[in-house]
């Protein structure tokens, strides 16, 4: 395979196509619009379905309908648009149909701005719609990872019949980097539960409605059992220099990638600092973090928000070690030197006291 | 090795493509590269910029507070970025369109790029003149790498412009040698 | 010589194959039952049951997907046209139906309806208009009549404060994407027969891929109107028909050809 210089948004679109996405429904919003524009011509060229919906609300419900036919389907948006999709996401999750949704996060709250942010961590991992469920959430930090995790997103969505969210930020969507695309995969066959007309079989019915508490609880148990499997098998993270680290830095996506530069610079200064970069935000890589928490003196969480993954880190660490936080908000992306200063100060204070 | 480049000018001056060409050439030379455009509200004000990093290590941030090199194509970009270049860096400016009224703390290279491009028959070649001038003075990559990148990555519908672009690269390199080597 | 006579029982009325053999939860006297039966009969007559996918709304017909013997799903409130769009785009050769009440279609879901109609999505919407929110207990809907008492307009609907009834057929007939837009009523036998014919025509229009089709059915809600089923039918005739005239609001040339074919 050859490496190409690819823009994140375009790379995700092409990766979805190679994963066999049969329908894309979306609505323009910066900083993910190139993804919609790419799908507009590319899906048409391939004779697959592309539709610009009248709103994100319509887009996610088109995804819901299309997913009910058993096809691989997706939509993409950015924070305010993702907020509008929450109702539909909850229905999709409750109905056990697979779907992939990209959230190219931007600065908030409110209209905020179109700059890179990680302010949707709670929204994507906790509250992607009403009711008791969590979507699978994947967090790429580069264009290559955006491709790889898009492919994974479709596989996980089908495997668990669940909503998978690719949560990146405007920087990853807009940036070009060299990357390799996987070969084109054949389209998947429709599963037996799909709605395609009850020809020679009993009707299939897809719904999230349970009138009685007992049946609704049973449906909830089914979802929770799926989620516990997901927690057991799908935690993913990457590490750098954690073997002998005294201070563990953790961050995902763009913040994690910039933190890597800072951690490398800290190592060059002789500071025993390591990095854990979650690839899955749900399931959060709590097992690995818990193991590392036994070894290190302290943990620093770096995010482009006011401290959201911080909660998951604290839960995983369980009070074993001090956990501190550094974040920038509103579309401000921290710089490597800035993080190095934060790391050095914290290291001197908690990991290697004078 | 890590080098960072800010390209800034009016929309339509080929700012984005100049940055992409450098990124392509860097990629083909085996470097880690990133290219990121300005996509904030500033892109609506008529100026556009992009940021390119070439590195022999994985790149953390694709944007830095101060670029090592700034290529400025118009006066507003000069006003904004002439003083932003990191110490040890280089400022290359399009002297056809820019009145240099600042004293930046880094070496500067004045290239009459728009006039030169006009002379070659197409003002749109200005970005190639600027880019090859830069690499002539700061040879992170040889100018020939840009030619190769053009041949490899110029979109099909722009193929007819290949020869003119290569000519513009040569003109930019000649101008830079002249400007850089001759005493001020 | 005496001839032995074998009695022969011929069925004169039976459940359509497309209607599931289950009890519905509709109130006694509600016209949803009639509307369901008409849809099922129309699908049977055209032989479409096995290739149809129904999208149910939120509202009294929330369980409609269980009441038909065919593939079906349950949309979020008002989003049935978006969901149907997703299904029909993936399966253009299947028959796709949405079955929606007036709160679902004309209030929370009006954006999805109008855009599906404007795009000319070739599916069929059965729009059951009983001028009230039935499931939540009788609040004003966009279709409630001027002066109509509901639990959220206890003094009668004051159009100066709550706006005017939203006439869906009149609203969407002007959209180029619509092929067949008609209003019928379920208040008497003759009207019911006409409603059935309209549903058959709408399905033919869909099969021909002629564009968006919608059949509005003026219906009753005896429970929330506070009327007996018989009085509710009279109320449709006396109060709804003048405000919501039955008729063909849009029959495109392609729809005409499809109906004839």
Q: Is the minimum CB–CB distance between A68 and chain C shorter than 8 Å?
A: yes
CB atoms A197 and C94 under 8 Å:
yes
The answer to whether residue C86 sits within a structural domain is yes
Distances (CA, A) of A50 to A56, B20, C86, C106: 14, 29, 10, 27
Res. A353: pLDDT tops 70: no
Res. C113: pLDDT tops 60: yes
Q: How confident is the model at residue C98 (pLDDT cuts 50, 70, 90)?
A: very high
Are the C-beta atoms of C30 and C60 separated by less than 8 Å? yes
Total domains in the fold of chain C: 1
C-B interface (Cβ pairs under 8 Å ≥ 3):
no
Domains of chain A with bracketed CATH: 3-190+209-233 (3.40.50.970), 238-351 (3.40.50.920)
Burial of A126 (0-12, 13-18, 19+ CB in 10 A): middle
The answer to whether residue C121 sits within a structural domain is yes
Please report the pLDDT score of residue C6 as a whole number: 78
Res. A1: pLDDT tops 80: no
Nearest partner of A156 among A19, A309, A312, judged by Cα: A19
Residues in chain C closer than 8 A to A49 (CB atoms): 89-90
CB atoms C71 and A197 under 8 Å:
yes
CB atoms A176 and B35 under 8 Å:
yes
Degrees (nearest 5) of the Cα angle B20, B22, B25? 110
Q: Sheet holding A23-26: strands in order across?
A: A49-52, A23-26, A73-77, A99-105, A163-169, A136-138, A280-282
Q: How confident is the model at residue C253 (pLDDT cuts 50, 70, 90)?
A: very high
Helix (H, G, I), strand (E, B) or coil at A148: helix
Average pLDDT over residues A87-110: 97
Please report the pLDDT score of residue B12 as a whole number: 85
Are the C-beta atoms of C13 and C37 separated by less than 8 Å? no
Please report the pLDDT score of residue B71 as a whole number: 97
**CATH assignment, B2-181:** 3.40.920.10
The answer to whether residue C72 sits within a structural domain is yes
Annotate B108-168 with three-state secondary structure: EEEECHHHHHHHCCCHHHHHHHHHHHHHHHCCCCCHHHHHHHHHHHCCHHHHHHHHHHHHH
| pLDDT (tens digit per residue) in A34-88 | 999 999 999 999 999 999 999 999 999 999 999 999 999 999 999 999 999 999 9
CB atoms A335 and B64 under 8 Å:
yes
Res. A258: pLDDT tops 80: yes
Average pLDDT over residues B38-58: 79
Nearest partner of C103 among C85, C75, C76, C130, judged by Cα: C130
Residues in chain B closer than 8 A to A114 (CB atoms): 39-41
Q: How confident is the model at residue C97 (pLDDT cuts 50, 70, 90)?
A: very high
CB atoms A260 and B65 under 8 Å:
no
Nearest partner of C58 among C143, C136, C174, judged by Cα: C136
> Beta partners for B32?
B55
Q: What is the pTM of this model?
A: 0.95
Chain pair A-C, CB pairs under 8 angstroms: 127
Nearest partner of A345 among A233, A231, A269, A281, judged by Cα: A269
Burial of A312 (0-12, 13-18, 19+ CB in 10 A): buried
Res. B67: pLDDT tops 90: yes
Long-range pairs of A191-194 with CB within 8 A, sequence gap ≥ 24: A191/A70, A193/A70, A193/A96, A194/A68, A194/A69, A194/A70
Percent of chain B at pLDDT > 90 equals 80
Please report the pLDDT score of residue B43 as a whole number: 53
Q: Which domain holds residue C43?
A: 32-153+164-260
Please report the pLDDT score of residue B182 as a whole number: 62
CB atoms A23 and C89 under 8 Å:
yes
Q: Is the minimum CB–CB distance between A322 and chain B shorter than 8 Å?
A: no
Q: Which has the minimum average pLDDT: A79-88, A264-273, B147-156, C33-42?
A: B147-156
Distances (CA, A) of A274 to A239, A261, A266, A308, A334: 7, 11, 9, 21, 18
Q: Sheet holding A176-180: strands in order across?
A: A3-7, A176-180, B32-37, B47-55, B2-10, B69-72, B90-94, B108-111
Q: What is the CATH number of the domain that holds C197?
A: 3.40.50.970
Could you tell me the residue ranges of all domains in chain B? 2-181
Which pair of tokens denotes residue A97? 């149909």
Q: Is the minimum CB–CB distance between A50 and chain C shorter than 8 Å?
A: no
Chain pair A-B, CB pairs under 8 angstroms: 60
What's the ipTM?
Answer: 0.95
Average pLDDT over residues C139-146: 98
| CA separation for the pair A221, A24 (Å, rounded) | 31
Mean pLDDT value across chain B: 92
**Chains with at least 3 CB pairs less than 8 angstroms from chain A:** B, C
């Amino acid at each position: 395979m050859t490496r190409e210089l690819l823009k994140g948004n375009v790379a995700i679109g092409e990766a979805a196509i190679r994963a066999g996405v049969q329908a894309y429904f979306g609505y323009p919003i910066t900083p993910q619009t190139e993804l919609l524009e790419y799908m507009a011509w590319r899906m048409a060229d391939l004779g697959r379905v592309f539709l610009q919906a009248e709103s994100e609300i319509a887009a996610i419900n088109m995804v819901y309908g299309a997913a009910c036919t058993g096809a691989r389907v997706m939509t993409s948006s950015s924070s305010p648009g993702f907020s509008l999709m929450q109702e539909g996401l909850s229905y999709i999750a409750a109905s056990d149909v697979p779907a992939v949704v990209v959230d190219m996060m931007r600065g908030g709250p409110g209209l905020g701005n179109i700059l890179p942010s990680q302010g949707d961590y709670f929204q994507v991992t906790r509250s992607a719609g009403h009711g008791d469920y969590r979507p699978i959430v994947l967090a790429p930090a580069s264009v290559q990872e955006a491709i790889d995790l898009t492919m994974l997103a479709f596989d996980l969505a089908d495997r668990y019949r669940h909503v998978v969210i690719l949560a990146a930020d405007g920087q990853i969507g807009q940036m070009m980097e060299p990357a390799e695309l996987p070969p084109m995969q054949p389209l998947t066959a429709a599963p037996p539960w799909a709605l395609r007309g009850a020809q020679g079989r009993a009707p299939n019915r897809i719904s999230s409605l349970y009138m009685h508490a007992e049946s609704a609880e049973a449906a909830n148990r089914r979802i929770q059992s799926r989620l516990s499997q997901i927690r057991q098998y799908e935690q993913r993270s990457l590490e750098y220099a954690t073997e002998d680290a005294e201070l563990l830095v953790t961050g995902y996506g763009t913040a994690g990638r910039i933190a890597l530069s800072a951690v490398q610079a800290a190592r060059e200064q002789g500071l025993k600092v390591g990095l854990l970069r979650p690839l899955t935000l749900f399931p959060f890589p709590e097992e690995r973090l818990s193991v590392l928490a036994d070894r290190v003196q302290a943990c620093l969480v770096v995010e482009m928000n006011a401290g959201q993954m911080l909660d998951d880190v604290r839960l995983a660490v369980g009070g074993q070690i001090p956990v501190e936080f550094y974040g920038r908000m509103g579309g401000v992306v921290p710089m490597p030197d800035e993080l190095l200063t934060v790391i050095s100060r914290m290291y001197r204070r908690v990991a290697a006291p004078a | 090795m890590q080098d960072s480049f800010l390209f800034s000018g009016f929309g339509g001056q080929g700012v984005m493509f100049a940055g992409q060409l450098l990124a392509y050439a860097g990629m083909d030379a085996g470097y880690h590269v990133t290219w990121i455009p300005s996509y904030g509200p500033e892109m609506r004000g008529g100026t556009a910029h992009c940021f390119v990093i070439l590195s022999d290590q994985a790149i953390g941030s694709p944007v830095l507070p101060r670029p090592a090199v700034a290529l400025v194509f118009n006066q507003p970009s000069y006003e904004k970025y002439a003083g932003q270049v990191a110490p040890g860096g280089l400022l290359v400016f399009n002297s056809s369109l820019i009145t240099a009224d600042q004293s930046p703390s880094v070496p500067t290279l004045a290239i009459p790029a728009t006039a030169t491009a006009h002379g070659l028959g197409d003002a749109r070649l200005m970005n190639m003149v600027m880019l090859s001038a830069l690499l002539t003075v700061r040879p992170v990559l040889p100018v020939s790498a840009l030619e190769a990148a053009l041949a490899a990555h110029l979109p099909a519908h722009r193929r007819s412009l290949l020869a003119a672009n290569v000519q513009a690269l040569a003109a930019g390199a000649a101008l830079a040698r002249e400007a850089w080597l001759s005493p001020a | 010589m005496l001839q032995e006579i074998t009695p022969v029982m011929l069925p004169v009325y039976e459940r359509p194959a497309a209607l599931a053999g289950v009890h519905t939860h509709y109130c006694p006297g509600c016209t949803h039952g009639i509307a369901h039966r008409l849809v099922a009969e129309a699908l049977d007559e055209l032989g479409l049951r096995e290739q149809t996918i129904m999208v149910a709304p939120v509202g009294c017909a929330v369980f409609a997907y269980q009441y038909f013997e065919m593939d079906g799903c349950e949309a979020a409130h008002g989003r049935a046209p978006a969901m149907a769009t997703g299904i029909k785009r993936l399966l253009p050769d299947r028959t796709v139906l949405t079955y929606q009440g007036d709160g679902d279609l004309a209030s929370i879901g009006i954006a999805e309806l109008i855009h599906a109609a404007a795009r000319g999505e070739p599916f069929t919407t059965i729009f059951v208009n009983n001028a009230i929110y039935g499931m939540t207990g009788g609040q004003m809907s966009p279709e409630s009549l001027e002066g109509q008492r509901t639990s959220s307009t206890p003094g009668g609907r004051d159009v100066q404060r709550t706006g005017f009834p939203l006439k869906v057929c009149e609203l969407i007939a002007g959209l180029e994407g619509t092929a067949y837009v008609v209003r019928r009523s379920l208040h008497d036998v003759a009207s019911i027969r006409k409603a059935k014919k309209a549903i058959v025509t709408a399905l033919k229009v869909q099969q021909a891929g002629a564009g968006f089709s919608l059949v509005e059915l003026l219906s009753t809600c005896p429970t929330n109107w506070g009327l007996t089923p018989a009085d509710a039918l009279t109320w449709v005739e006396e109060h709804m028909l003048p405000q919501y005239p039955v008729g063909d609001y849009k029959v495109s040339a392609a729809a005409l050809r499809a109906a004839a074919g």
